[in-house]
């Protein structure tokens, strides 16, 4: 007499276990890849946002410069890694566009020490100066921001005849800014997966003269 059985054999259990393990492994691998990619994208975005924020802060200071093509009101000191912009102050309820002596200087310095990548802002009365770590932290730039030939130095261009005044610079930062700028063939790149790079070029026309 033959007996029928609806039970699962050991072989079937082994095959099912193998298939399930393969499926779980595939799911885990996909999840890991997605998480890794998301981490990379998030890191890239974070660096760009931070770099853009610092560039915009400098841009706003440039746009409110109190000066002229003859007296720009902007001071670039590569040696001390400092940028300063003169601002007109309100005196007795009114601005004094014809008087530079009562103005304030807003400065940004890439402070030495600790990798020398942090940028701090501060203010000075009367004349530009150099900020320290006691100022307001504004962001980071690569350690060779002012010394790498691939990064254009901040420059002030004045044309008295045309009545124009320009400020230009490129702000560069990386996830690990102490590594220095990522450059290939003399050109700035996006860096590496582990240490992405972002850079923002500024060219502001300070008009109204």
- Residue pair 84/74 in contact by the 8 Å Cβ criterion: yes
Q: How far apart are CA 31 and CA 77, in angstroms?
A: 50
Q: How high is the pLDDT of residue 35?
A: 59
What is the average pLDDT score of the chain?
86
- Residue pair 158/73 in contact by the 8 Å Cβ criterion: no
Provide the pLDDT confidence category of residue 29 given band limits of 50, 70 and 90: low
Q: For residues 24 and 3, which has the higher predicted lDDT (pLDDT)?
A: 24
Q: How high is the pLDDT of residue 3?
A: 52
91-108 confidence digits (pLDDT tens): 777 888 888 888 999 999
φ, ψ at 91 (rounded to 5°): -115, 125
Q: How high is the pLDDT of residue 113?
A: 76
Asked if residue 10 belongs to a domain, the reply is no
Asked if residue 193 belongs to a domain, the reply is yes
- Looking at the 3D structure of the chain, how many domains does it have? 1
Asked if residue 1 belongs to a domain, the reply is no
119-175 confidence digits (pLDDT tens): 999 999 989 999 999 999 999 999 999 999 999 999 999 887 877 889 999 999 999
Q: Is the dihedral of CA 135, 141, 144, 145 positive or negative?
A: negative
Going by C-alpha positions, the residue among 176, 180, 174, 175 that lies closest to residue 150 is 180
- Cα of first residue to Cα of last residue in the chain, in angstroms, is 110
Q: How far apart are CA 116 and CA 112, in angstroms?
A: 4
Asked if residue 183 belongs to a domain, the reply is yes
Predicted confidence (pLDDT) at residue 4 exceeds the cutoff of 60: no
Asked if residue 11 belongs to a domain, the reply is no
Which structural domain range is residue 90 located in? 38-205
pTM of the complete model = 0.77
């Amino acid at each position: 007499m033959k007996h029928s059985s609806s039970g699962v054999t050991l072989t079937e259990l082994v095959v099912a276990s193998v298939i399930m393990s393969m499926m779980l492994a595939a799911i885990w691998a996909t999840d890991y890849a997605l998480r890794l990619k998301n981490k990379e994208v998030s890191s890239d975005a974070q660096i760009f946002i931070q770099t853009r924020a610092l560039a915009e802060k400098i841009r706003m200071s440039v746009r409110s410069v109190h000066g002229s093509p003859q007296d720009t009101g902007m001071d670039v000191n590569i040696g001390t890694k400092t940028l300063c912009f003169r601002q007109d102050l309100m005196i007795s309820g009114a601005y004094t566009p014809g008087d530079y002596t009562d103005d304030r200087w807003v400065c940004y310095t890439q402070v030495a020490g600790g990798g020398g990548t942090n940028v701090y802002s501060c203010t000075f009365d009367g004349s530009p100066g150099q900020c320290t770590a006691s100022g307001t932290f504004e962001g980071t730039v690569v350690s060779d921001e002012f010394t790498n030939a691939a990064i254009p130095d901040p420059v002030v261009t004045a044309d008295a005849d045309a009545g124009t005044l320009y400020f230009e610079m490129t702000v560069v930062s990386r996830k690990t800014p102490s590594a220095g700028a990522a450059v290939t063939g003399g050109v700035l790149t996006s860096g590496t997966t582990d240490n992405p790079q972002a850079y923002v070029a500024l060219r502001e026309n300070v008009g109204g003269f």
